[in-house]
Chains A and B, each alone.
Chain A
Amino acid sequence: MLCRRCGHVQRSRPVCIKSLNICVQTGASKNDNVGTTDYVTRRNILLGGAVLGAVAAAPARSVTLEEVTPATAAGGLNLLPPREAAVVSLFARNTYSIANIVDVALQGRTAASPEVDVPEGNGTGFVWDDEGHVVTNYHVVLNSLKGLGPDPAGRGIGSAAERPKVAKVTLLNPTNDIEQTFDAVLVGADRTRDLVVLQLLGAPPSALQPIQLGSSASLRVGQQCLAIGNPFGFGHTLTSGVISALNRDIRSQLGTTIPGGIQTDASINPGNSGGPLLDSTGRVIGINTAIFTPTGSSAGIGFAIPVDMVKVVIPQLIQNGKVVRPSLDAQIASDSVAQRLKVSKGALIQMVTPGGAADKAGLLPTRRGLSGIILGDVIQAVNGRPVNSGGDLLVALDSLTVGDTAKLQLVRSTDQGLQELELSVVLGKDK
């Protein structure tokens, strides 16, 4: 029979000698922690039957610590396959450029509970240059920016003393591998593209390791990509995947649509946003911004803003605090509305702001007629560049500036049927 407490075989008693509180076999006393309380109970006891043979049942011999400690096999970085060694060194290089960003408006809000690791940050960013500029997503510091009023981008203009503090940024120092936290002030914000630039206060140049930027023009589906971020607060987490698709429209958390997005299946989770998407050489090809998921965590579909768009936006944010975009001053129908109205190709104009650029050029919106809805002008090309959807139009306008004249090729619905037109529009400012 087995002692119910320590699992060793007793010849005659089912439990240890209570008076002495000492197990006959092992000498364990009652209060010793001898492991779990879940021991295997032999069916034999319940069958009320056989007593196990003493020879077979007693522990054969006690083992020593040396016998049960296995010999360890040596390895080392030089024994790793070259592909792995490349990834290891890529991470080791780039981890110093990754910043852990905590929105100051959120500090002290989350209460720790046992099953949850207290998040150390709620977003990721990376060091842009030697001056201490850190780039991240707008929605990472959204709560702080909301508190700055209707035009947070404008508050970034001015001397460093006037700029509002919006985040605490933690960096890993490349010289001594110590984590340092700095205050960060807002330099510029672009809500449309979900990008924001912060500047660190008091960061010594030795703590800054700017990241290397790549190019997103020549990306191909199937290319490997790596993401470094702080998912769920776990700092400096490396995940990998491939580029699943290109030219996706990202629906950002702020309600805007960012065209030209890179879709990847590297695990992007809450906390990863604002972090870089790197290619296999370690250069930034995108900024992780959104995921598409039913559960709130990674389902294998993540989206990143392409770095070419970032390279256009960030210098303007650093210089001016905001980005002035050209606009047609017209509302373009979303994909679902266009589909319902049976517009398969082109950007459909839904509404036109009176007095705006499109109105002055004579573009017609979607309006109601006697026989039903009359479709507005459908833009087919901008300056010769074909436009297949609203997202394409945004990408096409991105390359132009305010005041430029854009030649639009349209298809207009008239009483005589569809008419092809070409109009010139002087682009106005995006509000």
Chain B
Amino acid sequence: MMMFFTHQCPVKRTTVTRSERCIIKLLNRERIAPMSVLNDLKYMKLFITQAAIDPSPRQLSSTELAPNHDPRLTPLNPSRRGILAHGIVLSALSALFGLPLFAHSSAAAALVDEDIATSVFQAVSPSVASIAIVRPVGGVDVREVVGSGVVWDAVGPHVVTNFHVIPRLQGTNALLEVTLQDTATGTVTTLPARVAGSDSLHDLAVLKLLPRAELSDGDGGAATVPGVPPTVAPIRVAVPGDLWVGQFAYALGCVASDPSRPTWSLSAGLVSGLQRSIPSPVGARIYGVIQTEAVVNAANSGGPLVDSLGRMVGLNTAVGAARSGTARGSGLSFALPVDLLLDLVPKIIVYGNPYGKK
């Protein structure tokens, strides 16, 4: 378990703090008493947690954030029962080639057409960005990945993500950075970003990418040449309402703990239900949410949910689990529907808020 932490955790550190060891112990203890339950009222309560990691060192959900996790690297102890991954995670290391190097296929993969899955991944992953915050800690810049985002347009360029993915920035020295693929040059570029607006009620936030030249410490008063914005690939968006229960959905994410080497990930599953309601970060409810079997975790939170035609049908947001704080999902993941995005995101970009007024 310790090895799992240090190898898979994207946060650059080599020691595990005491609170994290406590979490490891908790996770270990959970395995001791498997039981056969269904419809036990004790377990009927569903905790819907926004799939995100808290960049403060106290809470770490590294079991969620394992984009490169190949099960062959961490062999399962045969005496551990009840820990079986479900859902697929296909991860590709190279942005340029996009070849699936590891394929961990579980049973849900049997329904998924591999050719479609790989072509969807190759087509859509340029539109998925990784969002990180950089904060100076003792003179050194520490970069922590907070989640994924999806490129919305080339005008800004704007990146849409979840509100809960963006940590509290006011009053801190932290900066947001977005890593994505520049389609003109074919390379990976990391740009600073600022929050253009957000809607905490619907758990949305929009980032505007800033040209790199802006961050340079210019001389007092001298006008710096604005940097050339990158050529980004905005995602293809589906027509609202064009989704059926039983269709396949692919949840994409991007994690770039090293700004020059981002890793894109894909997980697939069926669309399990439509028109669900989940709690929003401010306590109200969001309606019309898509429920899917594709694994949504902190790595692809804020990333797109895509159908077999490569169009975005949702934004990965939350995961439901029977126990609060458990990193393991239970096959219930939630994504904001695309009609919500088409309605709110343009207003957030133009006005800074979803109401359409300045």
Contact = CB atoms under 8 A, between A and B. Distances in A.
B239 interface: yes
Contact of A65 (B219, B331, B346): B346
A239 B84 CA distance: 16
B90 to A, nearest CB: 17
A295 B322 contact: yes
A50 interface: yes
A265 B358 contact: no
Contacts of B214: 52, 56-57
Which of A73, A74, A244 has the most chain B CB within a 10 Å cutoff?
Answer: A73
Interface in A55-94: 55-57, 60, 62-65, 67-77, 79-81, 83-84, 87-92
Contact of B110 (A236, A242, A296): A242
Interface string A91-107: 11001000000000010
Given A236-B273, A270-B44, A265 B84 contact: yes
Contact of A81 (B31, B44, B113, B195): B113
Interface string B150-169: 00110110100001001111
A152 interface: no
B186 interface: no
Contacts of A27: 358
Contact of A41 (B169, B219, B245, B293): B169
A239 B272 CA distance: 6
A192 B357 CA distance: 64
Interface stretch (B1-9, B67-75, B304-312): B304-312
Nearest to B327: A295
A288 B17 CA distance: 42
Contacts of A80: 247, 308-309
A264 B220 CA distance: 67
Contact of B236 (A26, A73, A271): A73
A293 interface: yes
A49 interface: yes
Contact of A87 (B85, B111, B217, B278): B111
A210 interface: no
A62 B40 contact: no
Contacts of B228: none
Contacts of B14: none
A113 B279 CA distance: 10
Interface centre among A44, A119, A236, A267, by most chain B C-beta atoms within 10 angstroms, is A267
Contacts of A26: 352, 358
A231 to B, nearest CB: 7
A269 interface: yes
A292 B173 contact: no
B330 A298 contact: yes
A222 to B, nearest CB: 8
Interface stretch (A31-39, A166-174, A341-349): A31-39
* Contact-size category for A: 35 or more
A36 B36 contact: no
B222 to A, nearest CB: 6
Contacts of A241: 86, 107-108
Given A39-B194, A68-B346, A295 B326 contact: yes
A294 interface: yes
B173 A46 contact: yes
Contacts of B47: 115-116
Nearest to A26: B358
A239 B270 contact: yes
A68 B349 contact: yes
Q: Is the interface of A mostly helix, strand, loop or mixed?
A: loop
A67 B153 contact: yes
A240 B270 contact: yes
Interface string B177-203: 000000000000000111111111000
A423 B322 CA distance: 51
Interface string B244-259: 1111100000000000
A272 B331 CA distance: 12
A182 interface: no
B240 to A, nearest CB: 7
B239 A233 contact: no
Most buried by A among B30, B83, B84, B107: B107
A240 B108 contact: yes
B223 A36 contact: no
Contacts of A409: none
B276 A38 contact: no
Given A83-B113, A234-B276, A270-B43, A41 B349 contact: no
B270 A36 contact: no
Interface in A234-291: 234-242, 244, 250-253, 264-274, 288-291
Given A70-B236, A244-B107, 14 more contacts: A33-B353, A39-B194, A52-B224, A70-B237, A73-B237, A73-B238, A116-B47, A241-B86, A253-B37, A267-B332, A292-B81, A294-B32, A296-B43, A299-B83
Interface of B: 30-48, 81-86, 106-108, 110-111, 113, 116, 136, 152-153, 155-156, 158, 163, 166-176, 192-200, 205, 211, 213-214, 217-226, 234-240, 242, 244-248, 269-273, 276-279, 283, 291, 293, 307-309, 311, 320-324, 326, 328-332, 342, 345-350, 352-353, 355, 357-358
16 contacts: A35-B353, A41-B170, A50-B219, A70-B152, A70-B153, A72-B238, A106-B41, A115-B47, A237-B332, A239-B272, A240-B111, A253-B38, A267-B330, A297-B320, A297-B322, A299-B84
